[in-house]
Amino acid sequence: MIELREISKRFGAVTANDRVSIRVDSGTIHALVGENGAGKSTAMRIAYGFYTADSGEILVDGRPRRIASPADAIALGIGMVHQHFMLVETMTVAENIVLGAEPGSAFAFDSAAASARIRALSDEFRLAVDPDAFVEELSVGQQQRVELLKALYRDARLLILDEPTAVLTPQEVDELFASLRGMRAQGKTIVIITHKLGEVLALSDDVTVMRDGKVVGRMKTRDTSAAALARRMVGREVLLRVEKTPAAPGDVALEVRGLSVSGRHNALAVNDVSFVVRAGEIVGIAGVEGNGQTELIEALAGLVPADRISGVVALRGTNITSLDARTRRELGVAHVPEDRQKRGLLLDFGLDENAILGVHYRPPITAHVGHVLLDGREIERRAADIIARFDVRPPDPHVPARSLSGGNQQKLVIGREFELHPTLLLVSQPTRGVDIGAIEFIHRKLVALRDAGCAVLLISAELEEVMSLADRLLVIHGGRIAGEVNPTKTTAEEIGLLMTRGAA
Partner 1 sequence: MKLRDVLFPAVAVLAAFLVGALFVAAIGDSPIETYRLLIGSAFSWPDGVGYTLFLATPLIFTGLAVAVAFRAGLLNIGAEGQLYMSAFAAAWCGITFARLPAVLLVPACMACAIGAGAMWAAIPGLLKARFGSHEVINTIMMNFIAVALCGYFTQYHYRTPGDPIMETAAVGANASLPRVGDFIPGVPSRIPLNFAFVLAMVACGLVYVLLWRTKWGYELRATGANPFAAQYGGISTGRQIVIAMAISGGLAGGVGINEVLGYRHRYYDGFSDNYGFTGIAVALLGRNHPVGVFFAAILFAVLSRGGIAVDAFTVHVTRDIVQILQATIILFVAAEAVFRGPFRKLGLLK
**Minimal distance, residue 51 CB to partner 1, in Å:** 16
d(CA 458, CA 476): 12
Q: Is 415 in the site for partner 1 (CB under 8 A)?
A: no
Task: Say whether 164 sits in a helix, a strand or coil.
Answer: coil
Q: Is 67 in the site for partner 1 (CB under 8 A)?
A: no
Q: Is 326 in the site for partner 1 (CB under 8 A)?
A: yes
Within 10 A of 370 (CB to CB), how many other CB atoms are there? Answer: 6
Q: Is 226 in the site for partner 1 (CB under 8 A)?
A: no
Q: Is 399 in the site for partner 1 (CB under 8 A)?
A: no
**Minimal distance, residue 281 CB to partner 1, in Å:** 25
d(CA 457, CA 395): 29
Judged by CB under 8 A, the residue of 59, 113, 374, 384 near partner 1 is: 374
Q: How many whole angstroms from its chain centre is CA 51?
A: 24
CB closer to partner 1 out of 217 and 358: 358
**Minimal distance, residue 347 CB to partner 1, in Å:** 7
Nearest to 189 by CA among 21, 460, 15, 1: 1
Sorted by sequence, the CB contacts under 8 Å of residue 57 that are 6+ apart come out as 5, 6, 7, 64
Q: Which stretch binds partner 1 (CB under 8 A): 67-75, 258-266, 369-377, 456-464?
A: 369-377
Phi and psi at residue 299, to the nearest 5°: -65, -40
Phi and psi at residue 398, to the nearest 5°: -100, -10
Q: Are 299 and 309 in contact (CB under 8 A)?
A: yes
Q: Is 300 in the site for partner 1 (CB under 8 A)?
A: no
**Minimal distance, residue 287 CB to partner 1, in Å:** 22
Judged by CB under 8 A, the residue of 56, 170, 358, 487 near partner 1 is: 358
Q: Quote the DSSP letter at residue 245.
A: P
**Minimal distance, residue 370 CB to partner 1, in Å:** 11
Q: Is 428 in the site for partner 1 (CB under 8 A)?
A: no
CB closer to partner 1 out of 362 and 501: 362
**Minimal distance, residue 218 CB to partner 1, in Å:** 34
Q: Indicate left, alpha or beta for 291 from its phi (over 0: left) and psi (-120 to 50: alpha).
A: alpha
Q: Is 100 in the site for partner 1 (CB under 8 A)?
A: no
Q: What is the DSSP string of 192-210?
A: EEE--HHHHHHH-SEEEEE
d(CA 116, CA 123): 11
Beta bridge partners of 350: 400
Judged by CB under 8 A, the residue of 124, 324, 385, 493 near partner 1 is: 324
Using CA atoms, how far residue 337 sits from 233, 413, 458, in Å, is 28, 9, 11
Q: Which stretch binds partner 1 (CB under 8 A): 142-150, 242-250, 365-373, 457-465?
A: 365-373
**Minimal distance, residue 298 CB to partner 1, in Å:** 9
**Minimal distance, residue 359 CB to partner 1, in Å:** 9
Q: Quote the DSSP letter at residue 400.
A: B
Q: Is 343 in the site for partner 1 (CB under 8 A)?
A: yes
Q: Is 353 in the site for partner 1 (CB under 8 A)?
A: yes
Q: Are 440 and 38 in contact (CB under 8 A)?
A: no
Q: Is 361 in the site for partner 1 (CB under 8 A)?
A: yes
Q: Is 12 in the site for partner 1 (CB under 8 A)?
A: yes
Q: Are 351 and 383 in contact (CB under 8 A)?
A: yes
Q: Is 325 in the site for partner 1 (CB under 8 A)?
A: yes
Q: Which stretch binds partner 1 (CB under 8 A): 115-123, 184-192, 278-286, 325-333?
A: 325-333
Judged by CB under 8 A, the residue of 19, 316, 371, 381 near partner 1 is: 371
d(CA 143, CA 137): 9
Within 10 A of 321 (CB to CB), how many other CB atoms are there? Answer: 18
Interface ranges with partner 1 (CB under 8 A): 12-13, 301, 303, 324-327, 329, 335, 337, 342-349, 353, 356-358, 360-361, 365-366, 371-374, 376
